[in-house]
């Protein structure tokens, strides 16, 4: 008995010793592995890389910029279904354990022992909790990404994960840990976090996900690349259904929901690029460059900025269509240059054509290859699309191009140059790679199954539409196709504006003592340029001169010699100062040729300058961005800097004075001068070089521009609420053709745009500033028009003190509030047309 007691005492002592040794060893190991653990408190201030989102003025998504495509969602915004799906897939006991799931660890250990007995080298079964995954992804990424990891390294990492997980659980709530996890995990296809993944895979917010969709997303963290919805479709469905089963097993969904979810097909909905949808690629890229310059690369791609731009999607679509049509119409008039390339159509032509680079932003144009061709028609096969996994679609679509679809295709060179084709085979041959779009019949409807031949225009150009009061860019087209060329001709192409610069010259004169009725001689002139020889500027009509002309008529007819004489009189330094004020040029050389638009500037700069004419002479700063907010919703930039007095009433409305917007912007040009030059440019539209703009049917002012040798064609024009600028020219400047003037090439594009853009707007006349006197004068001479004058007379605008002598007939004076003046009772009312501003 005593021996048994001694033996039991020995066992107890040995057990106690072993226990203490074990505790000591465990404590030592914990101490050892805890020494180098990262500081988990950094999770409190964790700011994951979040993508920047750019929106149009109506709130529609325009672009996204990110290195990691992520949208951060607080846990309160995550639906219970999505949370349960991830818990079912990853850690069903998440809300019960303290960072380590000992049941899971036990299962993993037993599996490891089983594999060791069998001699299997299978990867150990995972037992990581969501908290451990947070520790791994946020704090132990260096160990995870370490190359040449051994099995020992993996065990060490697991121990560190467990230690960190327990510390994290003590420091943070379960919801905070889950929030970090759901926003950090990579879910494939470039999506980080559930919000981005929901958009990428299903084009939905997390609140719109079905059971099947939520289960699929929850299945992805384990191995997103091996669960690709197209490449590994069957495996992806299998894993999705596993998650559905776990949801049912845990009682988080009903049997009927589970059965329906298993039957749902796994279909991924690819999201269209926002900029592509509204043809705003050039605009979006300009915004990206602006953000990069303001905040740097890290803030742009990781800062989670929310950018509200000035883009009007409707106007942008109109601008893109009218600009493209204008370029195509001009290019087709030059003739057919031949197929883009040739393709061997033997075998599966679709696979071969799919490898040819095509432009994705010129819909409804589609790339095609000619399969057969005869005198009456050609059969074409369209480029097949690609599936999400990159495989070429097996569907093959064909169509016909009849003679009606190639009638425009006159030969651009060779013996047959200029001849209209009489056979389709004269234009197309089997193997020709071309573009085509649906043929429009004479009734304006699409001809089913028939297509029209298209060719990419060599000529290019740009268009900008702006709000003249704020400088907000409403639409921007930087070329025919962003896919073809990312060079933005609206902001980056410096071209000679030609005569469209003349309003700057004339406004400089009007602001310094001249009037629209000032007379200057239109006659040959020679300028001694010293070593540069003698310069003899000519009018566009070459040897045709008109003698004495008012400034109004000189601008209307775009007379170069009058402009040069005017520039001589007022001096180029003064013109250079005004050009700098308007932002057209940074510095203008003191050469008289620059008064005719020989300097180089951009469409955006010219449109900005004309906006100042339109808004009464106020400084305008062009902008593509209305407002920028940081990831927390704080506004860090706002374009509108006007002061709002009375907008911050602390206790609501108590019959105090109404809020007022105070505009502190600089007055660049006298408001009366601005109206005078506007009135003169209305004359350009009504009876000058831009008469095509009369088709708009609304009050329009503007000026054309054509450079030497017809290398560039310009038109800048405006209504009271919209300014539009267009230029057309080759990227490598060359002659556009004898008749390719601003009035014939650029103005029709602006007309087509403004006609649609202003279709539902009232015909509002230009506002006449207080003090302007409207005097009836002879349209040709600018002299007083007497009661018995039978010639053409106009209402001319004069500033106080510059009005004609008393023997002139003063028709009216603008009211102090800018309203149209009323004609005196004895005036000829047929001559008094409010808003015509002295037009014929």
Per-residue pLDDT tens digits for 398-423 = 999 999 999 999 988 877 788 899 99
At residue 10, the pLDDT reads 62
At residue 5, the pLDDT reads 63
At residue 808, the pLDDT reads 41
Helix, strand or coil for residue 401? strand
At residue 267, the pLDDT reads 87
Q: In this model, does residue 41 exceed pLDDT 70?
A: no
pLDDT digits (tens, 9 = 90+) for 636-662: 999 988 888 877 776 666 777 888 888
For residues 140-165, average pLDDT: 55
At residue 112, the pLDDT reads 55
In 3D, which of 507, 499, 721 has the Cα closest to residue 599? 499
Q: In this model, does residue 496 exceed pLDDT 50?
A: yes
Q: In this model, does residue 835 exceed pLDDT 70?
A: no
Q: In this model, does residue 220 exceed pLDDT 50?
A: yes
Token pair for 319:
């601008």
Distance from the Cα of residue 200 to its chain's centroid: 20
Confidence label for 533 from pLDDT (cuts 50, 70 and 90): confident
For residues 602-611, average pLDDT: 98
Catalytic residue among 64, 90, 184, 213: 90
Mean pLDDT over the full length of the chain: 86
Residue 397 near residue 436, CB atoms below 8 Å:
no
Confidence label for 22 from pLDDT (cuts 50, 70 and 90): low
For residues 217-234, average pLDDT: 90
Higher pLDDT, 23 or 197: 197
- Judging by beta carbons within 10 Å of its beta carbon (0-12, 13-18, 19+), is residue 247 exposed, middle or buried? buried
pTM for this entry: 0.85
pLDDT digits (tens, 9 = 90+) for 301-318: 999 999 999 999 999 999
At residue 85, the pLDDT reads 95
Task: Tell me the percentage of the chain whose pLDDT exceeds 90.
Answer: 63
DSSP 724-768: EEEEEE-SS-----TT--IIIIIHHHHHHHHHHHTTTS--PPPPP
Q: How far apart are CA 234 and CA 245, in angstroms?
A: 16
Q: In this model, does residue 35 exceed pLDDT 70?
A: no
pLDDT digits (tens, 9 = 90+) for 234-252: 999 999 999 999 999 999 9
Q: How far apart are CA 214 and CA 231, in angstroms?
A: 20
Catalytic residue among 198, 425, 481, 499: 499
pLDDT digits (tens, 9 = 90+) for 573-601: 999 999 999 999 999 999 999 999 999 99
Lowest average pLDDT, out of 390-399, 429-438, 723-732, goes to: 390-399
Q: In this model, does residue 709 exceed pLDDT 90?
A: no
Phi and psi torsions of 382, nearest 5°: -85, 150
499 is catalytic: yes
Q: How far apart are CA 455 and CA 446, in angstroms?
A: 19
Residue 502 near residue 540, CB atoms below 8 Å:
no
Token pair for 451:
């297509």
DSSP 299-319: HHHHB--EEEE---HHHHHHH
Residue 488 near residue 478, CB atoms below 8 Å:
yes
Q: How far apart are CA 736 and CA 728, in angstroms?
A: 9
Q: In this model, does residue 8 exceed pLDDT 90?
A: no
pLDDT digits (tens, 9 = 90+) for 107-142: 555 655 555 565 555 545 456 788 888 777 765 554
Q: In this model, does residue 738 exceed pLDDT 80?
A: yes
For residues 63-92, average pLDDT: 92
Bridge partners for 473 per DSSP: 466
Q: Following CA atoms 305, 306, 307, 308 in sequence, which dihedral angle do they give, to the nearest 10 degrees?
A: -170
Helix, strand and coil percent figures for the chain, each rounded to 5: 40, 20, 40
Distance from the Cα of residue 837 to its chain's centroid: 37
Q: In this model, does residue 815 exceed pLDDT 60?
A: no
Helix, strand or coil for residue 374? coil
pLDDT digits (tens, 9 = 90+) for 668-689: 999 999 999 999 999 999 999 9
Task: Tell me the percentage of the chain whose pLDDT exceeds 70.
Answer: 82
- 577-to-7, 572, 589, 615, 668 alpha-carbon distances in Å: 110, 9, 11, 20, 11
Q: How far apart are CA 94 and CA 218, in angstroms?
A: 15
Residue 782 near residue 516, CB atoms below 8 Å:
yes
């Amino acid at each position: 008995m005593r021996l048994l007691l001694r033996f039991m005492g020995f066992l107890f002592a040995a057990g106690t010793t072993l226990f203490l040794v074990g505790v000591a060893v465990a404590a030592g190991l914990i101490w050892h592995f805890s020494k180098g653990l990262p500081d988990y408190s950094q999770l409190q201030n964790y700011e994951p890389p979040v993508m920047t989102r750019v929106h149009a003025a109506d709130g529609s998504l325009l672009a996204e910029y990110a290195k990691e495509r992520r949208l951060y969602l607080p846990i309160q915004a995550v639906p219970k279904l999505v949370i349960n799906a991830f818990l079912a897939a990853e850690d069903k006991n998440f809300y019960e354990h303290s960072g380590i799931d000992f049941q899971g660890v036990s299962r993993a250990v037993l599996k490891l022992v089983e594999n060791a007995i069998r001699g299997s080298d299978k990867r150990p079964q995972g037992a990581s909790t969501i908290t451990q995954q947070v520790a791994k992804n946020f704090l132990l990424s260096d160990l995870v990404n370490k190359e040449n990891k051994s099995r020992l390294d993996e065990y060490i990492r697991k121990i560190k994960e467990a230690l960190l997980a327990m510390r994290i659980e003590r420091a943070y709530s379960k919801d905070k840990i889950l929030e970090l996890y759901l926003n950090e995990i990579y879910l494939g296809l470039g999506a980080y976090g559930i919000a981005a993944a929901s958009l990428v895979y299903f084009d939905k917010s997390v609140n719109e996900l079905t059971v099947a969709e939520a289960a699929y997303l929850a299945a992805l963290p384990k191995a997103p690349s091996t669960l690709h919805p197209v490449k590994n479709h069957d495996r992806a469905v299998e894993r999705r259904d596993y998650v559905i089963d776990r949801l049912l097993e845990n009682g988080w969904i009903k049997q009927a929901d589970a059965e329906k979810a298993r039957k749902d097909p796994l279909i991924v909905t690819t999201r269209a690029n926002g900029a592509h949808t509204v043809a705003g690629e050039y605009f979006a890229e300009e915004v990206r460059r602006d953000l990069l310059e303001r905040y740097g690369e890290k803030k742009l791609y990781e800062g989670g900025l929310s950018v509200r731009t000035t883009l009007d999607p409707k106007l942008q679509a109109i601008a893109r269509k009218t600009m493209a049509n204008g370029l195509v119409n001009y290019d087709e008039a030059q003739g057919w240059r031949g197929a883009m390339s040739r393709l061997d159509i033997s075998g599966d032509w679709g696979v071969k054509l799919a490898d040819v680079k095509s432009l994705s932003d010129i819909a409804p144009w589609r790339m095609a290859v000619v399969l057969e061709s005869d005198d009456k028609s050609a059969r074409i096969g369209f480029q097949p699309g690609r599936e999400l996994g990159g495989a070429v679609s097996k569907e093959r679509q064909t169509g016909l191009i009849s003679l009606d679809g190639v009638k425009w295709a006159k030969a651009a060179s060779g013996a047959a140059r200029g001849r209209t084709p009489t056979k389709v085979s004269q234009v197309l041959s089997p193997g020709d790679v071309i573009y085509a779009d649906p043929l429009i019949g004479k009734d304006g409807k699409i001809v089913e199954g028939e297509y029209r031949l298209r060719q990419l225009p060599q000529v290019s150009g740009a268009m900008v539409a702006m709000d003249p009061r704020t400088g907000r860019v409403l639409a921007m087209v930087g070329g025919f196709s962003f896919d073809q060329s990312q060079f933005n001709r609206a902001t980056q192409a410096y071209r000679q504006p030609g005569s469209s610069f003349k309003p700057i010259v004339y406004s400089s004169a009007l602001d310094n003592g001249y009037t629209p009725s000032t007379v200057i001689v239109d006659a040959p002139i020679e300028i001694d340029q010293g070593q540069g020889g003698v310069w003899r500027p000519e009018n566009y009509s070459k040897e045709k001169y008109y003698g004495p002309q008012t400034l109004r008529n000189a601008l209307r007819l775009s007379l170069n010699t009058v402009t040069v004489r005017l520039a001589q009189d007022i001096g180029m330094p003064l013109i250079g100062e005004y050009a700098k004020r308007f932002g057209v040029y940074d510095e203008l050389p003191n050469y008289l040729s620059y008064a005719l638009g020989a300097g180089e500037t951009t469409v955006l700069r010219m449109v900005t300058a004309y906006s100042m004419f339109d808004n009464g002479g106020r400084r305008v700063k062009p902008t593509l961005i209305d407002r920028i907010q940081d990831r927390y919703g704080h506004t860090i930039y706002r374009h509108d800097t006007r002061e709002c007095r009375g907008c911050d009433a602390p206790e609501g409305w108590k019959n105090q004075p109404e809020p007022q917007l105070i505009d502190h912007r600089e007055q660049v040009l006298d408001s009366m001068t601005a109206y005078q030059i506007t009135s003169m440019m209305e004359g350009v539209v009504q009876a000058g070089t831009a008469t095509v703009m009369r088709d708009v049917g609304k009050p329009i002012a503007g000026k054309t521009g054509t450079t030497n040798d017809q290398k560039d064609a310009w038109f800048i024009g405006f209504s009271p609420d919209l300014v539009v600028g267009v230029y057309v020219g080759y990227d490598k400047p060359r002659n556009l053709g004898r008749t390719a003037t601003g009035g014939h090439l650029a103005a029709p594009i602006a007309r087509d745009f403004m006609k649609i853009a202003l279709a539902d707007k009232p015909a509002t006349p230009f506002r006449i500033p207080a003090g302007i006197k409207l005097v009836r004068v002879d349209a040709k001479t600018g002299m007083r028009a007497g009661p018995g004058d039978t010639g053409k007379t106009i209402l001319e605008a004069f500033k106080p003190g510059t009005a004609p002598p008393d023997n002139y007939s003063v028709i009216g004076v603008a009211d102090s509030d800018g309203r149209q003046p009323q004609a005196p009772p004895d005036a000829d009312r047929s001559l008094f047309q409010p808003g015509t501003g002295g037009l014929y």
